Amino acid sequence: MSNIIESLEWRYACKEFDASKKIEEKTFQKLMDGLILSASSYGAQPWEFVIVENKDLREQMVPLSYNQAQVKDASHLIVMCRPNTIDEKFIDGYIQNVCDVRSQEPQELEGFKKMLMYIVKKSDEDKANWAKNQVYIALGNLLTICADMKIDSCPMEGFVPSKVDELLGLEKLGLKSVLLCPVGYRADSDKYANLKKVRHPSSKIIKVIS
Ligand SMILES: Cc1cc2nc3c(=O)[nH]c(=O)nc-3n(C[C@H](O)[C@H](O)[C@H](O)COP(=O)(O)O)c2cc1C
């Protein structure tokens, strides 16, 4: 088993990627395999991940990301999205997925569907927040997988989602961007790579109620 603590110490929010270093496609696929295994509320996976390969678009995303060059320099750019609409059709799609994978009939999952319909009945704002929370779980998972695979990453909410959505035509895909995660390999010149990690001591943030 890999030493996960060592890997988590090694990772950092990469500020400067080496634009000449590319993640091999097979390795990237493995990363995506791990990403889709992320946990989510009810297993509903209210997310899609858009990989932006187009160089021009990635250049154009820099000013929309407060001039953070990671979006253009990293090997791959993952735009982590939530669905624009969470309705009965969305739930039915998930139920069908369960049926396909577990050889079940939709009638067997009627109780489960009823539970999932609570999400549909939420206000638009609450649905958006619920979906966003799930995307953040996927981000956490992605960062850990990257660390384990010795791939650098930078979690990013420093961008203007509405502008990025417009640029990438996400509306047509029924999506709204939540987070960006450029992944690749750090540049030797990135001063942030060797900074000591700043974390609260466990005595401050881990409480035991016995
Ligand atoms: C949700 C989220 C959004 C973040 N957004 C940005 C960002 O836009 N740009 C950036 O350089 N770092 C961003 N960070 C990185 C944090 O600043 C970084 O994780 C934190 O300072 C801890 O440092 P470390 O990850 O290097 O250990 C973000 C982190 C998270 C979890």
How much is the pLDDT for 91? 98
In a domain, 158, yes or no: yes
35 contacts 149 by C-beta, under 8 angstroms: no
Q: What is the CATH number of the domain that holds 148?
A: 3.40.109.10
Tell me the C-alpha distance between 158 and 40, whole Å: 24
Distance 156 CA to ligand 1 centre (A): 6
In a domain, 132, yes or no: yes
SS3 157: coil
In a domain, 77, yes or no: yes
Tell me the C-alpha distance between 6 and 166, whole Å: 40
Give 153: exposed, middle or buried? Use CB within 10 Å, 0-12, 13-18, 19+.
buried
Alpha-carbon dihedral angle through residues 197, 203, 209, 210, given to the nearest 10 degrees = 120
In a domain, 98, yes or no: yes
Number of the ligand 1 atom closest to the C-alpha atom of 136: 1
How much is the pLDDT for 139? 99
Query: For 77, phi and psi rounded to 5 degrees?
Result: -120, 120
Residues of the chain with pLDDT below 50 are 1
Tell me the C-alpha distance between 8 and 1, whole Å: 14
Distance 202 CA to ligand 1 centre (A): 20
Distance 114 CA to ligand 1 centre (A): 38
SS3 113: helix
SS3 190: coil
Given ligand 1 and candidates 134, 156, 160, which is best to mutate, with the most ligand atoms within 8 Å of its CB? 156
How much is the pLDDT for 117? 98
In a domain, 210, yes or no: no
How much is the pLDDT for 2? 63
Full domain range(s) for residue 27? 4-205
How much is the pLDDT for 155? 99
pTM: predicted TM-score of the whole model, two decimal places = 0.97
Beta partners for residue 17, in sequence order: 186
156 contacts 149 by C-beta, under 8 angstroms: no
In a domain, 53, yes or no: yes
**Number of structural domains found in the chain:** 1
| CB 164 less than 6 A from any atom of ligand 1 | no
